[in-house]
Amino acid sequence: MKKKILFVCLGNICRSPSAEGIMKKLVREAGLENEIEVDSAGLIGYHEGELPDPRMRSHASRRGYTLDSRSRPVRLSDFDTFDYLIGMDDRNYDELRRLAPDTDSMRKVHRMVEYSRRYAHDHVPDPYYGGTEGFELVLDLLEDACAGLLEELVTSESDNRE
């Protein structure tokens, strides 16, 4: 059964589309496109229809990632569609839990850093108002956490088959 992941940040122009792009590449490289679906959304619709921030796209491109999704707000139907709704920071996490229509939906909400393996950050910071270092840090954190998430998905899937 296909696992569906929705990455969420505030505006869906920096962190969540980066997580989406990184995860899509990891899924493709693992040959799991038919088993894992990835999308991203924001808690606000201010940037709806826009491409990710040009600075984020530039930094991601240098690492081999394509960020070409269009910003969209989180919808109530996302709680039915997705198995995981993953917030980049506590504000995203708390708001997703508040929006969740029931307890089963609340169980689908996670923090991105739950899947970190190498970094001990308690959130993925918003690089929007910062400089180059902020965008690079976000990519470092997301590469680590996406790899951890993929590892967990593959491990749990193989456990379910046994």
Q: Which residues are catalytic?
A: 9, 15, 126
Rg (CA), the chain: 15
Sheet containing strand 84-87, edge to edge, reads 36-42, 3-9, 84-87, 109-111
* Angle formed by the axes of helices 132-161 and 15-29, nearest 10°: 50
Distance CA 14, CA 56 (A): 6
